[in-house]
């Protein structure tokens, strides 16, 4: 969805995404039992903050595979981490290789999300932990009391939902993850949700504004948001006096049964 743009803005967008979401992700990884010696993978590793955190936790005796189709933004990984170029919807991740596998904001973009989860599930050791995190864009809503802002922000929110549906994707994908883990027989499933109400100019605000700016042609093509709406949205998400809720993140941890 975000391929094909300039590298510098995309790297900044990924870094804002990391700053907004890493605290919850790292807490879920600790709950998954990340510790020295573990073998881990981050699928769709992006700019690599999760892979770097995993590497710090597993140390020299462990290993982290930072898996991504597109390795442009990965770098600066420590020795115990390696970059792996692979398409999780097509390529083999192996069988019973990993203690912990994580993927964030990956599945919502994939038509073959079930195949991707199958590959991750197969690659987990018995007793291993799968941590999947994704967005629910139905939760987005303006908190501005100014109708000239809130109307535009909510028009863009409606266009986001329609854009996903038009591509045959689910804008509320995060909500489906617990059932996906149940269907594979996961044990001890834990679900955390986070829908922060944030000021413009925060990493979450800027991430949302820059993402919609990048996608503006597709959003306007839905007929639900105008060019002016996208411009108002962009200003609102960068203005510290404007509050908004931009999505909910659903984080799910499940354990693969020991045989
Ligand atoms: C929205 S970014 C999220 C990056 C990172 N997970 C994070 O949350 O900070 C999605 C990442 O998944 C990668 N990706 C998309 N489709 C993929 C596939 N089929 N196999 C592996 N990686 C994929 C993209 O290249 C991109 O780096």
Q: What is the pLDDT of residues 200-248, one digit of tens each?
A: 999 999 999 999 999 999 999 999 999 999 999 999 999 999 999 999 9
Q: Ligand 1 pocket test: pick from 44, 123, 207 the residue with the most ligand atoms within 8 Å of its Cβ.
A: 44
Query: Between 3.40.50.10440, 3.40.50.1010, 3.40.50.150, 3.30.70.1070, what CATH number should domain 7-255 receive?
Result: 3.40.50.150
Rg (CA), the chain: 18
* Tens digits of residue pLDDT in 72-125: 999 889 999 999 999 999 999 999 999 999 999 999 999 999 999 999 999 999
Under 8 Å between Cβ of 222 and 160: no
Ligand 1 neighbours, Cβ below 6 Å, are 14, 17-18, 44-46, 67-70, 87-89, 104-106, 109
Q: Whose CA is nearest to atom 8 of ligand 1?
A: 104
pLDDT of residue 21: 97
Asked if residue 57 lies in contact with residue 34, where contact means CB atoms within 8 angstroms, the answer is: yes
Evaluate if residue 172 carries a pLDDT over 80: yes
> What is the per-residue pLDDT for 19?
96
For position 201, what pLDDT does the model report? Answer: 97
**CA of 11 relative to ligand 1 center, distance in Å:** 13
Q: Which two tokens stand for residue 82?
A: 């390696």
Ligand 1 mean position to 222 CA, how many Å? 25
The contacts of residue 50 (CB under 8 Å, 6+ apart) are: 18, 22, 25, 29, 42, 102, 104
Contact criterion met (CB below 8 Å) for 224 and 162: yes
Residue 187 has pLDDT above 60, yes or no: yes
Cα 110 to middle of ligand 1, angstroms: 10
How far, in Å, is the centroid of ligand 1 from the Cα of 137?
18
Determine the distance separating the centroid of ligand 1 and the alpha carbon of 258, expressed in angstroms: 29
Among 4-8, 45-49, 143-147, whose mean pLDDT is lowest?
4-8
Query: What contacts 24+ positions apart, CB below 8 Å, involve 91-97?
Result: 91/119, 92/119, 93/41, 93/43, 93/67, 93/119, 93/120, 93/122, 93/123, 94/122, 94/123, 95/122, 95/123, 96/122, 96/123, 96/124, 96/125, 96/126, 97/39, 97/41, 97/123, 97/124, 97/125
Confidence of residue 5 (pLDDT cuts 50, 70, 90): low
Strand partners, 81: 64
For residues 161-173, average pLDDT: 98
Indicate the pLDDT class of residue 3, thresholds 50, 70 and 90: low
| 4 — pLDDT class (breaks 50, 70, 90) | low
Per-residue pLDDT tens over the stretch 28-84: 999 999 999 999 999 999 999 999 999 999 998 999 999 999 999 998 899 999 999
In the chain, what are the domain boundaries?
7-255
């Amino acid at each position: 969805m975000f391929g094909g743009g300039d590298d510098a803005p995309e790297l900044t967008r990924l870094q804002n995404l990391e700053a907004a979401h890493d605290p919850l992700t790292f807490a879920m990884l600790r709950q998954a039992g990340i510790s020295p010696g573990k073998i881990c993978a981050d699928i769709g590793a992006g700019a690599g903050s999760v892979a770097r955190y995993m590497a710090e936790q597993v140390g020299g005796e462990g290993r982290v595979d930072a898996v991504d189709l597109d390795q442009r933004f990965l770098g600066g990984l420590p020795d115990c981490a390696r970059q792996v170029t692979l398409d999780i919807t097509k390529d083999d991740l192996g069988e019973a290789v990993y203690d912990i596998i994580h993927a964030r904001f990956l599945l919502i973009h994939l038509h073959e999300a079930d195949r991707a989860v199958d590959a991750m599930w197969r690659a987990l050791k018995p007793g291993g932990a799968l941590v999947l995190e994704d967005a629910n864009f139905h939760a987005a809503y303006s908190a501005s009391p100014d109708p000239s802002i809130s109307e535009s922000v909510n028009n863009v929110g409606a266009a986001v939902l329609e854009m996903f549906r038009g591509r045959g994707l689910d804008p509320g994908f995060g909500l489906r993850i617990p059932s996906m883990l149940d269907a594979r027989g996961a044990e001890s499933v834990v679900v955390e949700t986070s829908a922060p109400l944030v000021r413009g100019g925060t990493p979450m605000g800027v991430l949302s504004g820059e993402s919609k700016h990048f996608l503006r042609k597709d959003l306007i093509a839905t007929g639900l948001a105008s060019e002016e709406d996208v411009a108002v949205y962009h200003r609102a998400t960068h203005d510290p006096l404007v509050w908004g809720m931009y999505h909910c993140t659903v984080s799910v941890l499940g354990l693969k049964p020991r045989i």
